[in-house]
Chain A
Amino acid sequence: MALENPLFEFLLRQGDNALVLGHRTSEWCGVAPILEEDIALANMALDLIGQTQMWLGYAGEVEGTGRSADDLAYLRDVYDFRNLLMLEVPNGDFGRTQMRQFLFDAFQVPWLTRLQDSRDTRIAEIAAKCVKEALYHLERSSQTVIALGDGTEDSNARMAEALTFLWPYSGEMFVDDATDQAMADAGVALLPSELRGPWLETVKAVAAEACLTLPDSDYAQKGGRTGFRHTEHLGHMLAVMQTLQRSYPGATW
């Protein structure tokens, strides 16, 4: 099957990951367990929305039909989204939110690091900006996972539960498809599967410090980044996120 516009598809995946995780993270604003974490989560959400603007802005230019980053964020429905399933499932408790952030950050850091060498200079520039934030996110999320995993009996049990819940979703990050192959052939990006090894090393090291055991399964829920099948949760999330544009189409500041 010939790909219509693999670069556009690739950029949607970058942007939608940041957008969906950013929105999920923003749901903690005002309700996090303590003030300091509330502020940190809001900062992280804003970092991710900022990254979204760069990725989707470029996606709109590549598509060439005049759609802006806002159009792509607010005027698409579930089936047009290209984010990982792991990022759209509900936050769960604070521990699961941190675990998800960590599993994603452990991929984002090496991924964005390598994208800085992309033959596409715009992508290299965006990656260089995003990787600095991703490094801080990884430091924060990994230390929180360790603190909670190696914490009380209750916090350890919650982190173990979070890991069990998220693990089947984490494999989707490393499933290559035709779009990934096209990007690799063009020197735009590496194949995500190349990062499975380094990612696993990071995750193993943190899990060991956090007194957690990695689930013994390679089964991967997928369909998010290809747009084939999202979970039931993304539609509900978009209904909240896009409510203004749905209620008042074309509304601007």
Chain B
Amino acid sequence: MTHENEWPLWEVFIRGQHGMSHRHVGSLHAADAEHAIRNARDVYTRRNEGVSIWVVEAAKITASSPSDKGPLFDPARDKVYRHPTFYDIPEEVGKM
């Protein structure tokens, strides 16, 4: 159910530590972008999860369609040589 005067939905992305990329953590409602950042701070970072927050209005995201899954992704599935899985990564490298 949506109300006519409901605040828009925002998708929230949090960067957990320096050097990592922002990760989608969920969504929330807010009146504008600044409000969304403040809400995200309270909803998603109170256990010290983040060093940076991105928010984007959900309506502004263009997503791929599930029905296009075949043509979009299948051609890559049987080309195992594209996957760098045949290498041993030294432990000192850390997260890749």
Cα distance A43–B47 in the bound complex, in angstroms: 11
Is A200 in contact with chain B by the CB < 8 A criterion?
no
Cα distance A35–B34 in the bound complex, in angstroms: 17
Is B56 in contact with chain A by the CB < 8 A criterion?
no
Contacting pair A39 B42 (CB below 8 A): yes
Contacting pair B38 A140 (CB below 8 A): yes
> Which interface residue of B28, B39, B42 has the most chain A CB atoms within 10 A?
B42
Distance (whole angstroms) from the CB of A107 to the closest CB of chain B: 21
Is A183 in contact with chain B by the CB < 8 A criterion?
no
Interface string of A134-157 (1 = CB under 8 A from B): 001001100100010000000000
Point out residues on A near B: beta carbons under 8 Å: 34-36, 39-40, 43, 136, 139-140, 143, 147
Would you mind naming 18 contact pairs between A and B with Cβ atoms under 8 Å apart? Answer: A34-B7, A34-B29, A35-B28, A35-B29, A36-B28, A36-B29, A36-B42, A39-B42, A39-B43, A40-B38, A40-B39, A40-B42, A43-B42, A43-B46, A139-B38, A143-B34, A147-B31, A147-B35
New A-B pairs, 14, CB < 8 Å, besides A35-B28, A39-B39 = A36-B28, A36-B29, A36-B30, A36-B39, A36-B42, A39-B42, A40-B39, A40-B43, A43-B42, A136-B41, A139-B38, A143-B35, A147-B31, A147-B35
